[in-house]
Amino acid sequence: MTELDSSSLILSPIGYFHTASGERYTASRQPGIGGSTSGVVELLPHRNFEQALSDLDGFDRVWLLFQFDRNRSWKPKVMPPRGGVKRGVFATRSPHRPNPIGMSCVSLNSIEGRKVFVGGHDLLDGTPIFDIKPYVSYADSFSGTRQGWLDALDETSEYAIEWTSHAQERVEYLRDSWGIDLERGVSCRLQQSPYPYPNARIRAIADGFYELAYQSWRLQYRVCDQRAIVSIERVETGYDKETLAGDVDKWGDLEVHRGFVGCFSVAKPDVAGSVL
């Protein structure tokens, strides 16, 4: 019997994850945070995985082990979305790791053949899945444990998301006319941390006033830390006049933006929020 080579390890996916979140900035920061995100693990055929799923349907939650397949590099220190201080990568949940392996505890909704339907996830569409394990509270839950640097942060609540009438009218138009739910996705992005950090696609416009680039849309908002409130004031197209008038439709939503511009004024606000 030969010894296994401990210097390397080859993992093969047992299946792939399917969900509406295809870009990193649209996914939840952590599983169970940011609303009822649903998805499905589709296991590979001809591997007897149907038998491997026997008895799993009696559990409420499962662990998914997966690959951070969008990342090509890692750094020993990273900037988490909370706290504003660089931390050692092993003290964070950053996806930029020496070995790009992730794990998420998600709710198990149902099982149909080789498909495992889950909720409250933070994975992207097409993510390779390495393993599925049941969550068992007697082994996986340790109440009262220390949480390192997170214990020093204010854990009282997430930021509440408010929409002005100006912004609410526009997200309702996109939802009702085009089936685009900006409200859920944007709330998920901002309720944990509304401030700029790497890959957040957030820029500061003025003191307490920010802009989020979400998909091809731009949302401008104010932050009140004393009340832990994010107030979204404006929703605008992210396309300039040349793009709107052109024929190049890179993201397949040019018609949506033209309809949006036709319905609403798109005058840009100044840093104080008034329309110029």
**For residue 245, what pLDDT is reported?**
92
**For residue 269, what pLDDT is reported?**
47
**For residue 178, what pLDDT is reported?**
94
d(CA 67, CA 103): 9
What letter does residue 247 receive in the DSSP assignment? Answer: S
**For residue 153, what pLDDT is reported?**
73
d(CA 145, CA 67): 27
Give CATH 2.40.30.70 domain extents, the chain. Answer: 15-149
CATH number, domain 160-263? 3.30.2310.20
Contact 160, 221 (CB under 8 A): no
Cα angle 158-163-164, degrees, rounded to a multiple of 5: 140
Residues contacting 90, CB < 8 A, separation 6+: none
Read off φ and ψ for residue 76, nearest 5 degrees: -65, -25
Give CATH 3.30.2310.20 domain extents, the chain. Answer: 160-263
- In this structure, what token pair is assigned to residue 272? 């104080």
* Helix (H), strand (E) at residue 206: strand 202-206
Contact 229, 194 (CB under 8 A): no
**For residue 267, what pLDDT is reported?**
44
Mean pLDDT by runs of 10 across the 276 residues of the chain is 66 93 57 66 97 97 94 88 84 91 94 95 92 96 88 71 95 94 85 79 89 93 88 95 91 93 67 38
Ordered alpha helix ranges (H), the chain = 49-52, 137-140, 165-178, 182-190, 241-245, 254-263
| Residue with the two structure tokens 């998920």 | 188
Nearest to 231 by CA among 181, 182, 168: 168
How far lies 135's CA from each of 64, 66, 119, 212, 247, in Å? 10, 16, 14, 35, 50
**For residue 156, what pLDDT is reported?**
47
pTM score of the predicted model: 0.69
CATH number, domain 15-149? 2.40.30.70
What letter does residue 77 receive in the DSSP assignment? Answer: E
